[in-house]
């Protein structure tokens, strides 16, 4: 049985999926057509239901709950893992200035953009771009501010950029919940027992990765935007955690809170009960 599988080239995803897609574990007869793409590309594809199994940001999932359901393994949630709003100048921007500024974002359907709008309702001038281009956009004054994610959390200060606000920290303070960033979703049309087996394989793949850590495998190195192994480890250690093994009640509660927040911000009502968002 073969499935299309999409995830990002970032170290947290390649770390999780390395053993599965490179057959370092027994895949129990399952095969995968693998595509690695920027998360916003995966978000756009999810809106088109292009892939059978896909990494995606939570706002993209919230728009596709009729087509996709979440697996328990492979997610990115946590505390202290949120996006940062950065600037070229060290001086603090006021709330009104932030609302009126041009802001580079890593995609309209990303959790980063949702958290930006949660912190600063009424923002008008956002410019979506690939996450790895955002630091340069701010440095070159193409935009006044930028929302950075992934390994850029560890590199922006080296480039002379300055944090204005930790958008994840703002969410944690207001909602008293971990930050749900991204998850692995599977098409609802796939048999639930098959989905559970695939979830188990992702979990085994991550367990293999942990068993061999802190070695950075060639698969992770090959696809990383940042060639420094220490930055790769910082990235993995920040975004891969117990929630990546299993969402658990705390993880599911956080996702449900973000879902209800998203619906409220969009002025929408839920087509499904929050319990029906998850395979298990």
* CATH classification at residue 153: 3.40.190.10
Q: What are the pLDDT digits (tens) for 120-152?
A: 999 989 999 999 899 999 999 999 999 999 888
Does residue 150 have an active-site annotation?
Answer: yes
Task: Indicate if 186 and 166 belong to the same structural domain.
Answer: no
Q: Is 270 a residue whose pLDDT tops 90?
A: no
86 close to 161: Cβ distance less than 8 angstroms? yes
* Residue 90 pLDDT class (50, 70, 90 cuts): confident
Of 109, 150, 162, 235, catalytic = 150
Give the residue from 175, 196, 215 where a domain finishes.
Answer: 175
H/E stretch holding 33: strand 31-36
Q: Which is nearest to 68 in space by CA: 154, 179, 186, 176?
A: 186
d(CA 84, CA 25): 36
The confidence score (pLDDT) of residue 6 equals: 98
Task: Indicate if 129 and 205 belong to the same structural domain.
Answer: no
On the question of a cis peptide bond just before residue 226, with omega within 30 degrees of 0, the verdict is no
Q: Is 76 a residue whose pLDDT tops 80?
A: yes
Tell me the average pLDDT across 261-275: 89
63 close to 109: Cβ distance less than 8 angstroms? yes
Reported residue count of the chain is 280
Q: 131: helix, coil or strand? A: helix
Which of 109 and 272 is assigned the larger pLDDT?
Answer: 109
Q: Which is nearest to 261 in space by CA: 161, 166, 176?
A: 176
d(CA 191, CA 193): 6
- Domain range for 137: 84-175
Q: What are the pLDDT digits (tens) for 181-237?
A: 999 999 999 999 999 999 999 999 999 999 999 999 999 999 987 678 998 999 899
Helices 111-119 & 248-266 angle (0-180, nearest 10): 60
Task: Indicate if 112 and 242 belong to the same structural domain.
Answer: no
d(CA 57, CA 180): 9
Give the residue from 175, 208, 233 where a domain finishes.
Answer: 175
The confidence score (pLDDT) of residue 73 equals: 98
The confidence score (pLDDT) of residue 269 equals: 86
């Amino acid at each position: 049985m073969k499935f299309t599988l999409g995830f990002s080239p970032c170290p947290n995803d390649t770390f999780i999926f390395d053993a599965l897609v490179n057959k370092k574990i027994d895949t129990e007869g399952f095969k995968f057509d693998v595509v690695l793409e920027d998360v916003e590309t995966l978000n756009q594809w999810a809106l088109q239901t292009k892939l059978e199994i896909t990494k995606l940001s939570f706002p993209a999932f919230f728009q596709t709950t009729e087509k996709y359901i979440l697996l328990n393994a492979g997610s990115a949630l946590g505390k202290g893992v949120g996006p940062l709003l950065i600037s070229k100048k060290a001086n603090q921007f006021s709330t009104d200035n932030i609302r009126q500024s041009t802001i580079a974002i890593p995609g309209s359907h990303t959790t980063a953009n949702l958290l930006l709008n949660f912190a600063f309702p009424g923002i008008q001038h956002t410019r979506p771009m690939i996450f790895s281009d955002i630091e340069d956009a701010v440095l070159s004054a193409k935009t006044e501010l930028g929302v950075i994610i992934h390994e850029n959390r560890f590199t922006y200060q080296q480039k002379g950029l300055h944090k204005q606000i930790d958008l994840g920290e703002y969410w944690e303070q207001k909602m008293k919940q971990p930050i749900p960033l991204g998850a692995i979703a599977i098409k609802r049309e796939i048999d639930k027992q098959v989905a559970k087996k695939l979830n188990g394989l992702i979990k085994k793949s991550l367990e293999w990765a942990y068993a061999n850590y802190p070695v950075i495998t060639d698969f992770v190195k090959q696809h990383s935007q940042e060639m420094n192994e220490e930055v790769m480890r910082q990235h993995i250690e920040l975004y891969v955690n117990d929630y990546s093994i299993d969402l658990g009640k705390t993880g599911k509660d956080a996702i449900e809170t973000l879902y209800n927040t998203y619906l409220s911000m969009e002025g929408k009502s839920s087509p499904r009960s929050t319990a029906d968002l998850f395979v298990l």
